[in-house]
């Protein structure tokens, strides 16, 4: 648990204005990579989130169409599309939460590390702009390899003098979503009641689902079955990459997971109590500088 995250939420609460119409706080969310496989359904889901008052959709291509499309949905968030470098500043200005699914996805036979060379550069440039235009925003990093893109973001923010470890999150929610689904199926329990913490990182064997702490607990699963569930969770991304056969990696389940984590961040900012999620963050839980564990996003 990282109760210190609560402090930054409280600081932001004092700094931000309330939306006069609803009495609820006005929250600007920016999605970088909004026209991609994850970005489009994630934009849709964040448009449906009642906590979002302004939704900024940025990509290097195709955002006018995505923004026009999403903007017709009759929910309160005002949607604007931004394209190319010269519109990045406006896209980010005043953002409370920035979600980053920008970058290339895997093809069959690749590991997430194979994405490093391209995605490291993309993340570095986007984080440099975040440091400049919305240095106090919470940042949700989806771009892979998360185990590396989060430390890269931290270094960019340190160099810019804006780093606050309580505001930088690697999104590992999809691992939790998968562990819940696979566990519920195997243990034959209602998936809506299931929780499974997933710690470590977001690649292969660094993904550690803690089925021993799963709720509701069950004696129905053998050691062999737990082992198989662990392996399936660790290889969930590869399962999708292979099924998509060269057409990318998980997008729809990731958009759902990103929307769940983004919503938790907004609730934390709004002072909603008891918001706990797993995320890959700067950590003292182990000797590793970054580690995914349960974190608290609320007072």
Closest CB to ligand NAD among residues 83, 229: 83
When asked if residue 105 is in the footprint of ligand NAD (CB under 6 A), the reply is yes
In whole angstroms, how close is the CB of 8 to ligand NAD at the nearest point? 22
CB-based contacts of 136: which residues, under 8 Å, 6+ apart?
A: 11, 12, 15, 167
Closest CB to ligand LMR among residues 160, 260: 260
Please indicate whether residue 202 is annotated as part of the active site: yes
The catalytically annotated residue of 201, 202, 241, 258 is 202
Number of residues that bind ligand LMR (CB under 6 A): 11
Q: Are 137 and 153 in contact (CB under 8 A)?
A: no
Of 149, 249, 293, 296, which lies in the binding site for ligand LMR, with binding defined by CB under 6 A?
A: 249
Residues 258-297, interacting with ligand NAD (CB under 6 A): none
Nearest to 30 by CA among 39, 19, 21, 17: 39
Closest CB to ligand LMR among residues 25, 149: 149
Q: How far apart are the C-alpha atoms of 49 and 126, rounded to whole Å?
A: 24
When asked if residue 103 is in the footprint of ligand NAD (CB under 6 A), the reply is yes
When asked if residue 240 is in the footprint of ligand LMR (CB under 6 A), the reply is yes
Tell me the DSSP string of 232-299: HHHTHHHHHHHHHTTS-S--HHHHHHHHHHHHHHHHHHTT-S--EEEEEEE-SSSSSSEEEEEEE---
When asked if residue 174 is in the footprint of ligand NAD (CB under 6 A), the reply is yes
Q: How far apart are the C-alpha atoms of 63 and 28, rounded to whole Å?
A: 17
From the number of C-beta atoms within 10 Å of its C-beta (0-12, 13-18, 19+), residue 178 rates as buried
List, by residue number, the catalytic residues. Answer: 202
Residues in the site for ligand NAD, rule: CB under 6 A?
32-33, 35-39, 58-61, 101-106, 115, 119, 122, 125-126, 142-144, 146, 171, 174, 202, 248-251, 254
Residues in the site for ligand LMR, rule: CB under 6 A?
105-106, 112, 144, 174, 236-237, 240-241, 249-250
């Amino acid at each position: 648990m990282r109760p210190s995250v609560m402090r930054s939420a409280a600081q932001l609460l004092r700094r931000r204005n309330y939306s006069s119409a609803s009495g609820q706080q006005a929250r600007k969310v920016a999605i970088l990579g909004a026209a991609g496989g994850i970005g489009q359904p994630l934009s849709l889901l964040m448009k449906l989130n009642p906590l979002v008052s302004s939704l900024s959709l940025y990509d290097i291509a195709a955002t006018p169409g995505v923004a026009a499309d999403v903007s017709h949905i009759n929910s309160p968030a005002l949607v604007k599309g931004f394209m190319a470098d010269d519109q990045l500043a406006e896209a980010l200005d005043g953002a409370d939460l920035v979600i980053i699914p920008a970058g290339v996805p895997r093809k069959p036979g690749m590991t997430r590390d194979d994405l490093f060379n391209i995605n490291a550069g993309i993340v570095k440039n986007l984080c440099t702009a975040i440091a400049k235009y919305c240095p106090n925003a919470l940042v949700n990093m989806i771009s892979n390899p998360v185990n590396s893109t989060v430390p890269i973001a931290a270094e960019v923010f340190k160099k810019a003098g804006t780093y606050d470890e309580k505001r930088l999150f690697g999104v590992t929610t999809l691992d939790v979503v998968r562990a819940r689904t696979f566990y519920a199926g195997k243990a034959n329990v209602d998936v809506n009641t299931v929780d499974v913490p997933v710690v470590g990182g977001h690649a292969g064997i660094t993904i550690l689902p803690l089925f021993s702490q799963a709720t509701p607990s069950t004696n129905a699963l053998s050691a062999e079955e737990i082992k198989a569930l662990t392996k399936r969770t660790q290889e969930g991304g590869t399962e999708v990459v292979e099924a998509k056969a060269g057409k990318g990696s998980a997008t729809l389940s990731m958009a759902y997971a990103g929307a769940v984590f983004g919503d938790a961040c907004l609730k934390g900012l709004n002072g909603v109590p008891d918001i706990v999620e797993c995320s890959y963050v700067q950590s003292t839980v182990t000797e590793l500088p970054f580690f995914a564990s349960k974190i608290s996003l609320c007072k």
